[in-house]
Amino acid sequence: MIERDEYVRKLKTQIDQWNAEAARWEGEARKAQAGAKADYERQLESLRRKSEQASSELERLQRASADAWAEMMRGVEASVKSMQEAFERARRSFDKK
């Protein structure tokens, strides 16, 4: 099984990468036409919510006891999967333009 510190480090790096890409997309959304802009904003809002949730789960995981962290890891994995799906939907939307 992966060590907790390594796991936390990898997740934090992934969340930071998603957030950086979302920031770039926010700049593109500001320049978009009204119809596309609304769609971009919906995608970005979903991505922000998922990012906040994943970050919150990551913080809880960091504070978890050694006994609890394996169980909590499953919850974090679910949040990360949801974030990845939202990120991929947003990527497809932004890559269309």
CA dihedral 27, 30, 33, 39 (to 10 degrees): 80
Most distant CA pair in the chain, distance: 51
Give the global pTM.
0.64
Look at residue 32 in the predicted model and tell me its pLDDT: 73
Query: pLDDT below 50 — which residues of the chain?
Result: none
Buried-exposed string 58-83: b where 16+ CB fall within 10 A, e elsewhere? beebeebeeeebeebbeebeebbeeb
Number of domains, the chain: 1
Look at residue 1 in the predicted model and tell me its pLDDT: 55
Range of the domain at 49: 4-96
